[in-house]
């Protein structure tokens, strides 16, 4: 099997323990070499633009992955600028020499549920394998019912047994216990002065506080 590199895209505003749990679950379940964590420049499908700058979001991602050996942070979408479409990012990875069959794009089940609205759907599903990780309130099993046209490509992956040979454009479903954490909840907690313990890596917590990120008005 040639599948080797995981790709985890996101706004990471900020990166949190849910994101790291997704990376770890996919790393283990699919026996990946490593995972590229790619902060988006300008995320599509959002009414509100990110609160922290691209620089701070990248810095926090780099701090967070320092304690997760399987991860590398990538500046691909930040250097490209503009709206960050996954199909374009995967194209850039192909241009850099990664064949579609070697890539696995990782998402949480809430994000994948909207896949039909992503740019270049359904073609983008042929640009990499996809792996969907459950999120509290979003079991992966419901995706077969929600996305009936894709059900035939979905394969359940049970922990610690990586699939051997898989067809092109497979959609792996990984049922994992990821923490009930979201960036939205974290930004809210910061506004109300609540602790981030159990929500973000301690180095990210320290970065947020030192720079006064996510406060109503700060220069950072």
Contact status, residue 181 vs residue 196, Cβ threshold 8 Å: no
Residue 83 found at the interface with ligand ATP (CB under 6 A): no
Nearer of residues 140 and 164 to ligand ATP, judged by Cβ:
140
Interacting positions 97-126 with ligand ATP (CB under 6 A): 107-108, 110-111
- Give the whole-angstrom CA distance, residue 71 versus residue 68: 6
Both structure tokens of 186: 């974290």
- Give the whole-angstrom CA distance, residue 195 versus residue 115: 33
- The residue range among 54-62, 115-123, 175-183, 207-215 that interacts with ligand ATP, by the rule CB under 6 A, is 175-183
Nearer of residues 2 and 188 to ligand ATP, judged by Cβ:
188
Residue 178 found at the interface with ligand ATP (CB under 6 A): yes
- Give the whole-angstrom CA distance, residue 144 versus residue 146: 6
Nearer of residues 2 and 28 to ligand ATP, judged by Cβ:
28
- Give the whole-angstrom CA distance, residue 131 versus residue 181: 20
Nearer of residues 60 and 183 to ligand ATP, judged by Cβ:
183
Both structure tokens of 35: 């995972």
Please state the separation of Cα 122 from the chain's center in Å.
19
Point out which residues bind ligand ATP (CB under 6 A).
10-13, 18-19, 22, 107-108, 110-111, 133, 135, 178-179, 181-184
């Amino acid at each position: 099997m040639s599948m080797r590199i995981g790709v985890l895209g996101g706004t990471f505003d900020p990166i949190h323990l849910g994101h790291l749990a997704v990376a770890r679950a996919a790393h283990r379940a699919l026996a990946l070499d490593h995972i590229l964590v790619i902060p988006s420049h300008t995320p599509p499908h959002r009414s509100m633009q990110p609160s922290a700058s691209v620089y701070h979001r990248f810095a926090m991602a780099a701090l967070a992955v320092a304690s997760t050996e399987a991860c590398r942070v990538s500046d691909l979408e930040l250097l490209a600028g503009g709206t960050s479409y996954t199909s374009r990012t995967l194209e850039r990875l192909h241009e850099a020499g990664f064949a579609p069959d070697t890539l696995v794009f990782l998402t949480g089940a809430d994000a994948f549920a909207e896949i039909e609205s992503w740019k270049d759907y359904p073609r983008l599903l042929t640009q990499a394998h996809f792996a969907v990780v459950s999120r509290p309130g979003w079991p992966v099993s419901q995706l077969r019912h929600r996305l009936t046209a894709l059900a035939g490509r979905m394969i359940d992956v049970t922990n610690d047994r990586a699939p051997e040979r898989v067809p092109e454009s497979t959609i792996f479903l990984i049922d994992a216990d990821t923490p009930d954490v979201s960036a939205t909840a974290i930004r809210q907690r910061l506004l109300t002065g609540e602790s981030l313990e159990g929500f973000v890596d301690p180095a990210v917590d320290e970065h947020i506080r030192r720079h006064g990120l996510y406060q109503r008005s700060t220069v950072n």
